[in-house]
């Protein structure tokens, strides 16, 4: 290989190293809501019949890579079969006001005008109630909320009652 070719390849390698590959995210990707595991370790899903309209759900331990599955209050209960697993979308906890908190998997959903736009907002219990559960029954807290201790998640819409 010529010296010029080696230099050219080195420059390409440096440029690629500096720009990097975009990080994969599954934020906003459809997922199934999990409510637990059976004795054999199989996931037990929340069914469509169990969904209460206008409530928000957070599901830990499901199919989202390192994230949680969220179902926001604006999602329609829909025509899904009552015994079929209920759907949500992959989310993550976030810090309100921090840049690049909620970059979705689908770039067309990054537009604030999109119905699929994710913003960092409170979606579960208020911080005081979370702290109460965490301090008074840590084991139950972990079963219900995982290791997260924040009520802020990447979510669609404005939340219940808004």
Inside any domain, residue 45 = yes
Residues 29-87: tens digit of each pLDDT: 999 998 888 899 888 999 999 998 888 888 877 778 777 899 998 887 766 788 999 99
Inside any domain, residue 95 = yes
User: What range does the domain containing 87 cover?
Assistant: 25-155
φ, ψ (nearest 5 deg) of residue 26: -110, 20
pLDDT band, very low/low/confident/very high, at 141 (cuts 50, 70, 90): confident
What is residue 134's predicted lDDT score, i.e. its pLDDT? 80
pLDDT at residue 162 tops 90: no
Inside any domain, residue 160 = no
Element (H, E) at 132: helix 127-136
What is residue 147's predicted lDDT score, i.e. its pLDDT? 65
Side-chain half-sphere CA neighbours of 21 within 13 A: 3
pLDDT band, very low/low/confident/very high, at 124 (cuts 50, 70, 90): low
Residues 91-116: tens digit of each pLDDT: 988 888 887 788 888 888 888 888 88
Please tell me the total count of domains within the chain: 1
Inside any domain, residue 65 = yes
């Amino acid at each position: 290989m010529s010296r010029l070719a080696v230099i050219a390849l080195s420059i390409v390698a440096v440029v690629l190293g500096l720009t990097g590959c975009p990080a994969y995210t599954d934020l906003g990707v459809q997922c199934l809501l999990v409510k637990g595991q059976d004795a054999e370790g199989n996931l037990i899903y929340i069914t469509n019949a169990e969904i209460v309209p206008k409530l928000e759900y957070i599901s830990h331990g499901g199919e989202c890579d390192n994230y949680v599955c969220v179902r926001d209050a604006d999602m329609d209960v829909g025509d899904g079969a009552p015994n079929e697993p209920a759907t949500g979308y992959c989310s993550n906890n976030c810090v309100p006001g921090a840049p690049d908190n909620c970059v979705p998997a689908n770039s067309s959903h990054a537009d604030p005008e999109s119905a699929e736009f994710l913003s960092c907002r409170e979606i579960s219990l208020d911080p005081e109630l979370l702290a109460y559960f965490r301090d008074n029954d840590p084991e139950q807290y972990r079963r219900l909320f995982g290791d997260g201790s924040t009520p802020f998640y990447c979510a669609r819409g404005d939340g219940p009652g808004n």
